[in-house]
Amino acid sequence: MRSVLKSLSSLIPRSRVPARIAAQDLLPLVERVPAMAAPCRMHPSVYAIEAAVIDWARRTGLRADPGVGFHRLAGRAFAEFDAAAAALFAQWLTWLFHLDDELDEGPCPLDIFHGLLNGSAEHPLESSFADLWRVTSSRMSDHWRSRFAGHLKIQYDACRTEAENRLTGRTPTLTEYPALRRGTVGPYLFDLVEPCLRVEVPAWLHSSEPWQELVEACSDVTAWCNDVASKPKEHGDPHNLVVLATREYGLDEQAATAWVLDRIAERCYDMHVAARTLPLGDVDPKTARDVSKVACAFLAAPRAHLDWLLESTRYA
């Protein structure tokens, strides 16, 4: 990929060569991490997925920017499934990143969580959440709904901690950062794969150590890749693993980025081990297949996310 990018850029007049994007620092992972070596398949109906996202965003009052490419991220994550599955996930991603922007730039960012948890529909984020929740939750059990709500609360707590840190100037430690970052990512993002695929992981299996490790490792990989790609936009905010590594170890940015890539590669291996130890022999064949589809979505997520980081205008 790097050699392709380099050869392409040499053909473009210098004045039109795009500025280098930080996400390109993640390219070595494609060669280092076997699970990220092959590009994701793209859903054949990716344009229909894009249309579904734009229509939904307009209907619910959110901004839809095709350049951000959530339809392409979802199109890769759900390439083997029906377009409706990918469209629903893309709509949730659109909502999630609007929430992210509200938390970063809104006047009373944390108040939005109270509205979400109370079923309010005054703010566009609340009404769009209600719309997605109506479609998504109807497919799932009370247990899943409770799990999702719990994960929304975790995100609220993590965002509150992050806000307090910024107010007081406190820097999180490297030890506490992974759990804090998993919280700010929004653990419910990983719950959404099940309703999009119209399956549900049995509660006992979801609580098992291998499943929890698979999800947490996947969350770490996607979050830390995001940290590398978004670092130029974050102006030294310590809630970024690259920034923390520079401060903790006295590294320059290039060395800190390399350190983060080492951690990402380790967590990718942890995902492989966790998947391999899932107790699939303890469930019936249909459940094993359903669970495997969800697990495969997690296993493919690092490469799907990387491809999106490289092409999205959000990180340009």
Q: Are 180 and 172 in contact (CB under 8 A)?
A: yes
Binding to other proteins by residue 84, rule CB under 8 A? no
Binding to other proteins by residue 34, rule CB under 8 A? yes
Question: Restricting to residues 38-57, which ones interact with other proteins according to CB under 8 A?
Answer: 38-41
Binding to other proteins by residue 271, rule CB under 8 A? yes
Binding to other proteins by residue 265, rule CB under 8 A? no
Burial 17-49 (b: 16+ CB within 10 A, else e): eeeebbbebbbbbbeebebbeeebeebebbebb
- What is the dihedral sign for C-alpha 57, 233, 249, 244? negative
Nearest approach in angstroms of CB 206 to other proteins is: 15
Segment interacting with other proteins, rule: CB under 8 A, options 111-119, 239-247, 257-265, 274-282: 274-282
Nearest to 312 by CA among 82, 15, 74: 74
Binding to other proteins by residue 27, rule CB under 8 A? no
Contact with other proteins (CB under 8 A): which of 8, 12, 17, 37? Answer: 37
What DSSP state is assigned to residue 25?
G
Binding to other proteins by residue 90, rule CB under 8 A? no
Contact with other proteins (CB under 8 A): which of 243, 295, 308, 315? Answer: 295
Nearest to 96 by CA among 41, 46, 148, 161: 148
Binding to other proteins by residue 266, rule CB under 8 A? no
- Could you report how far apart the first and last alpha carbons of the chain are, in Å? 17
Interaction site with other proteins (CB under 8 A): 34-41, 80-81, 271-278, 280-281, 284-286, 288-293, 295-296, 299-300, 302-304
